[in-house]
Structure 1
Amino acid sequence: MAKNKFHDGPGPSQRQLRVGELIRRTLSEVLARGDVHDPDLNRMSITVGEVRTSPDLKIATAYVLPLGGKGQEDVIELLARNKHELRRMVGKKVGLKFSPDLRFRLDDTFDRLDDTRRMFEQDAVRRDLDE
């Protein structure tokens, strides 16, 4: 049986979840306040939906989306360009012994929700659900 990257173990530990949420909140605050010294990044409103950390807490992957969904590729590029400054800010505010390497990915949660809604609206699926 092939392993799925989301289901290949017991799941994240409480520590991973707690640190991921602290990083998420910190990134959200830093981006909302415009603390980064990049005017292009500060012009964007960015939602940080989730942060997942590796078991050793050395890597933190932030799932982000620009408000309104426009400029998705630009936001990843801008965040990557400023990741060292963001990493320093996160490390200082979160208070970890080692600041994790930040990686940024587009948050596709809303796209998947739309796909699910469309699926449930199909006649064949509705018919099966009603039975």
Structure 2
Amino acid sequence: MESTRLSKVSRQIQKDLGEIFQRQAQSFMGKMVTVTSVRVSPDLGLAKVYVSIFPTENKEETLELIKQQSKAIRYDLGQRIRNQMRVVPELAFYIDDSLDYIENIDRLLK
């Protein structure tokens, strides 16, 4: 069960990362990167960030580009949340393929 504090921290990180990705959109090969969810560990040391990438072709390349820039993204996040949190969590990025799964189900049902 996730505590209230963890859910608030997750939402704040999701909001701030979304703004960071929106501001740095040109550096991700013209792809739209959306932060779909963030899960924070109980000690606030690790944040698993699930991103959705549109258009879907070459999304593995885009994810690798995001992982290469994770230190700069973490720094930008730290600048935004430095007054609310003492420690900025490490960021681990994963692809959220739930939209692809939904499209596949819709296609199969038609």
Return the TM-score normalized by structure 2: 0.83
The one-letter code of the counterpart of 2:64 is E
Find the residue that maps to 1:66 and give its secondary structure.
strand
What does residue 16 of structure 1 align with? 6
Is 2:15 the partner of 1:25?
yes
Deviations 1:18-74 (A, max 9, x none): 111111111111111118xxx642633211111111111110111112122222101
Find the residue that maps to 1:22 and give its secondary structure.
helix
- Name the larger-Rg structure: 1
User: Post-superposition, which runs of at least 4 consecutive aligned residues in structure 1 deviate over 2 A?
Assistant: 39-44, 111-119
Q: How many residues align?
A: 108
What does residue 70 of structure 1 align with? 57
Distance (Å, rounded) in 1 between the aligned partners of 2:50 and 2:60? 13
Distance (Å, rounded) in 2 between the aligned partners of 1:20 and 1:49? 11
- Unmatched 5+ stretches in structure 2: none
What does residue 126 of structure 1 align with? none
- Unmatched 5+ stretches in structure 1: 1-10, 123-131
Distance (Å, rounded) in 2 between the aligned partners of 1:98 and 1:84? 14
1 or 2, which has the higher strand percentage? 2
Deviation at 1:81, TM superposition (A): 0.3
Find the residue that maps to 2:91 and give its secondary structure.
strand
Is 2:103 the partner of 1:100?
no
Whether the 8 Å contact between 2:29 and 2:62 is mirrored in structure 1 is: no
The one-letter code of the counterpart of 2:95 is L
Distance (Å, rounded) in 2 between the aligned partners of 1:31 and 1:24? 10
State the superposition RMSD in angstroms.
Answer: 2.2
Deviation at 1:99, TM superposition (A): 0.6
What does residue 60 of structure 1 align with? 47
Q: Percent identity?
A: 28
Find the residue that maps to 1:43 and give its secondary structure.
coil
